[in-house]
Homo-oligomer: A and B are copies of this chain.
Amino acid sequence: MATIPRAGSAFLLAQLGAHAAARFAERVAELDLTPPQTGLLRAVATGPGRSQQELAGYLGMPPSRLVALVDGLAARGLLERRRNPDDRRLHALHPTAEGERMLGRIGEVARAHDDELLAGLDATERETLRELLARVAGQQGLTPGVHPGYRRV
């Protein structure tokens, strides 16, 4: 029988990442949101006024996909399309007051999610893990706050 190598750190990362994403999806589902929606809302609040194409490129998804996301959030009054008077082709996206309140609740959910996920580590270990992960993410060229999986729900 061939040797079965023990799982490497990359596999552990992929495994834990999928687990964390699934649990987070469950949590935000109670706010009637999907993870891509939370990512978009957050991106809009981080840099208000950007056009949909800018955001699509930033989030790494096709513009046609973004339309449906914006439709859903706009219909719920969490963000709004403002027609740019200088260039009336563009729709500048802005969060509403309701959207910012929702973002606050998302933040609470994210904190609770973090706590649950890292329940097995003490404060020092959590900080160590966080610092190592941030270093790896930076070295791999990942954009902070942008989840590659936003391309697929």
Contacts and interface: CB of A to CB of B under 8 A. Distances in A.
Nearest to A107: B5
Nearest to A97: B2
A110 B101 CA distance: 43
Interface residues of A, number: 63
B110 A8 contact: yes
Interface in A107-128: 107, 110-111, 113-114, 117-121, 125-126, 128
Interface stretch (A63-71, A80-88, A140-148): A140-148
Nearest to A111: B8
A21 B88 CA distance: 40
Residue of A45, A137, A138, A142 with most chain B CB atoms under a 10 A cut-off: A137
Contact of A15 (B4, B42, B121, B137): B137
Contacts of A1: 45, 48, 100
Contacts of A114: 8-10
Given A10-B20, A120-B139, 17 more contacts: A1-B100, A4-B46, A4-B103, A5-B107, A5-B111, A9-B129, A13-B117, A15-B17, A15-B148, A17-B18, A19-B140, A19-B142, A19-B148, A117-B140, A120-B135, A121-B135, A129-B133
